[in-house]
Structure 1
Amino acid sequence: MNASRIARPDRRRLIAATAAVTLVASAGCGARPAAQTGANAEAKDANGVVNMVMAPDPVWKWMESQGIKQEMEEAAKIQVLTSSSWDEFGVYAGGHADVVSAASYEVPELEKQTGEKTTIFGKFNSDRSILAVGQNSTAKDICELKGKKIVTHSAVSITIMWGVFAKKWCNLDLRAGGGDYELVVTDPQNAAGLIERGDADAGLLLPDFSIPQLSSGAVKPLYDSKSVSQIYAEQFSDDKTELTHPQNNVFVARKAWVEKNPEEAAFLIKMWDRGVQEWAKNRDKIIEAYPEDFAAESDKDKAFIRDWLENKYDWFVESTYLDQAWVDSETKLFNLMKEAGYVEADVPDPDFTILPKS
């Protein structure tokens, strides 16, 4: 079973990204135009080509299969070349991609490890993770889980946001290798099963990777099944109806590259904006065409995830374009991260580039 787009390898691998440059080059990426690396790297002209690295994505597959990608490329005379990899950061840090998809709250660490100033110039997927416990648990919230074994698919990623919530709500520390909980990292498709078997007390789960346990009631979500993004909107956002913070998938590039190649950057966001429009119109068809990207193995599974998206939370944004109000709200996230100790106080907030709609 393939993992979904958001379920990437542990971000601790980012620390080794520089060492991976030689391996990436030897894997056959050298034939492509590649961005330079290093804090003082000079951005090159894209010349109508965008190199993007991303994990497998159902919307992108749909755009290709329907001929939409090719049609848009021919009209704009700009081509998007994609590398499909679960180690997007390694490819990007090695200079073999202009654009990478990442969680917005991981950008400070990306800049720290690469030594390059980046900018966020589009959005795509919000944080859909939920907190769930075993069916017989009496815990009502994360505060009541102090000292308990909590399973997650990454020591960073979604765990950062639940750690921020734990710090704000109950002054507890959720992190690997210490803190007030016993954090266990496993593959996302195994997390709910560990709770069901009693090997973990709770879990930070992706709903589409927990279908059997959620549908059977073997695990039960807390917070009325609300995702991180829904909770963030209710408690930390100025606009309670804006459910796209924080982002698990923003489009990130070296700031110098975006400044040097505004047409290519704008085209990429335009293409992905068409993608989310296709998602809104053809969601059920896309799930049916690419069930592996939703960890759906049967018709029952597909029905479950369709119902979750329709009635609980759809994590795909309505538009990939940024505006200032959205940027201001997303930026508040980094103040929360600093207060919770996930980012040093003197680390600057990520840069955002607002591109005009075309």
Structure 2
Amino acid sequence: MKVQKTMRIAAAAGLALTLVAGCSGGSGGGGGSEGDPQVIRFAFAPEAVWDMMKDNGTLAKWEKDNNVRIETSTTWDEFTYFAGGHGDIVSMSTQETPVLEAETGIKTVTFGKYNYQRVPMFKRKGDPYKTLADIPKGSKICVSGPTSNAAFWGVLAKEMHDLDYRVGGGDFDLLVNDHFVNPTNLLRGDCEAAAIIPEAAIPQMRKGELELMYDGKSPFQLYKEFAPNNDGLNHVSGNNFVATQEWYDAHPDLAAKFLDLWQQGVDQWKEQKPEIIQKYPQHFSVESEEDINYLIDYMSGDADWFVDKVAMDEAWIKNETQLWELMKHLHPDNPNYLAADAPTPRFEAITPQ
């Protein structure tokens, strides 16, 4: 736990030095003179809906209508980019923001949501496991890393089964490999179950070689089964829109406009889901026509991990952020454990405009 966090801080510090050396511009959100567009510096992982909005003119029209320009940085490590201090908005999960604030001292504001935690638990066809409680203690489970979705599964294991689920200890032997390697690892018996991003296992799901545990539910669908104050809604975000507190307090109007852009994108996703998957299959890691069609069917049901509304209301925030209290129940050696005095990041319910 301490080694991993130290490495993350060091990487963030290195990135900050690099950016300071290479940049001499002012802070984000400002224009050079009257009439110049305001700038939002946004870091995001490769994303089909973003590419769609660029290709179909939605982004260009929004920028023109609002006199705003979005400068993007494509990265899979938004944590490090943001910690470097040279971004205005990033996408980040709910469980990551307390860690970011604790490690860097950066105060954040989460002001919108985009998609949910979606990494389900898989088993081989014919294996009897329905939940983690059915897997013998000491068994190997294939995972993608000690944090991220492991935070959710650690909380679920504790709250639903009183099990200690973590890399490097606990009731299971968690083996870390890439998502796209783990389907093969599971099939050949290297582990008894595996937490795998759905896109990495579409061919095996389509062929019936791998099956979902927990009655086919993803993390965001399972949270309501053990959340202290269950409101019956989907929770546990995989990507929220998170700004520095400094930027947000100076530009609340831009934050609201930014949500409007993404609401347009989400609406288009809901209306054109098959077409978007077919046009940008690389973002869903599918290639063959059979796998593309299977994914379209999978995403057409309750498994769709995109939110309906990017704005958060107070009731949703209250239930979502309960996750932090549950993370405090974890074993102190768990990388996802939160201390009693961990920061409580700020969430804001705002209306897109």
TM-score relative to the length of structure 1: 0.89
User: Corresponding residue for 1:54?
Assistant: 44
| Residue 138 (structure 1) shift | 2.2
User: Corresponding residue for 2:169?
Assistant: 178
* SS of residue matched to 1:188: coil
| Residue 20 (structure 1) shift | 2.5
Q: Is the 8 A contact 2:156 2:226 kept in 1?
A: no
Distance 1:259 1:169 in 2: 39
Change (3 A) 1:34 1:210: farther
User: Corresponding residue for 1:347?
Assistant: 342
The partner residue of 1:20 within 14, 22, 31 is 14
Change (3 A) 1:26 1:119: closer
| Residue 340 (structure 1) shift | 2.5
| Residue 234 (structure 1) shift | 3.4
Q: Could you tell me which amino acid in structure 1 is paired with residue 308 of structure 2?
A: E
* SS of residue matched to 2:95: helix
Distance 2:14 2:181 in 1: 28
1:64-112 deviations in Å (ceiling 9; x for gaps): 0001101011001111111011222222111221111111111111111
Distance 1:61 1:33 in 2: 28
The partner residue of 2:200 within 202, 209, 230 is 209
User: Corresponding residue for 2:212?
Assistant: 221
User: Corresponding residue for 1:198?
Assistant: 189
1:213-270 deviations in Å (ceiling 9; x for gaps): 1122222211111001111123325222x12x10000011111210111122111111
Tell which deviates more after alignment, 147-156 or 245-254.
147-156
Change (3 A) 1:292 1:207: same
Q: Is the 8 A contact 2:160 2:226 kept in 1?
A: no
Change (3 A) 1:32 1:144: farther
Gaps of 5+ in 1: 1-9, 36-44
Tell which deviates more after alignment, 197-206 or 339-348.
339-348
User: Corresponding residue for 1:277?
Assistant: 267
User: Corresponding residue for 1:6?
Assistant: none
1:327-352 deviations in Å (ceiling 9; x for gaps): 11111111111122421112132210
Change (3 A) 1:305 1:27: farther
Distance 2:312 2:116 in 1: 14
The partner residue of 2:286 within 293, 296, 299 is 296
Distance 1:54 1:247 in 2: 15
Tell which deviates more after alignment, 198-207 or 13-22.
13-22
| Residue 13 (structure 1) shift | 5.7
Tell which deviates more after alignment, 173-182 or 140-149.
140-149
User: Corresponding residue for 1:3?
Assistant: none
Distance 2:328 2:345 in 1: 13
Q: Is the 8 A contact 2:113 2:241 kept in 1?
A: yes
Gaps of 5+ in 2: 32-37, 332-336
Change (3 A) 1:126 1:98: same
Distance 2:27 2:189 in 1: 48
Distance 1:298 1:20 in 2: 41
**Percent identity for Structure 1 against Structure 2:** 36
| Residue 323 (structure 1) shift | 0.8
| Residue 168 (structure 1) shift | 1.2
1:238 aligns with 2:230: yes
| Residue 21 (structure 1) shift | 1.8
The partner residue of 1:189 within 180, 190, 194 is 180
The partner residue of 1:81 within 71, 82, 93 is 71
1:141-170 deviations in Å (ceiling 9; x for gaps): 102222111111121000110111111122
1:17-65 deviations in Å (ceiling 9; x for gaps): 333225742896x266556xxxxxxxxx534110011110100000000
Tell which deviates more after alignment, 117-126 or 256-265.
256-265
* SS of residue matched to 1:159: helix
Distance 1:15 1:172 in 2: 30
Task: Kindly tell me the number of residue pairs found equivalent between the two proteins.
Answer: 337
Distance 2:6 2:69 in 1: 32
TM-score relative to the length of structure 2: 0.90
Return structure 1 stretches of 4+ with deviation > 6 angstroms: none
Distance 2:348 2:246 in 1: 11
User: Corresponding residue for 2:311?
Assistant: 321
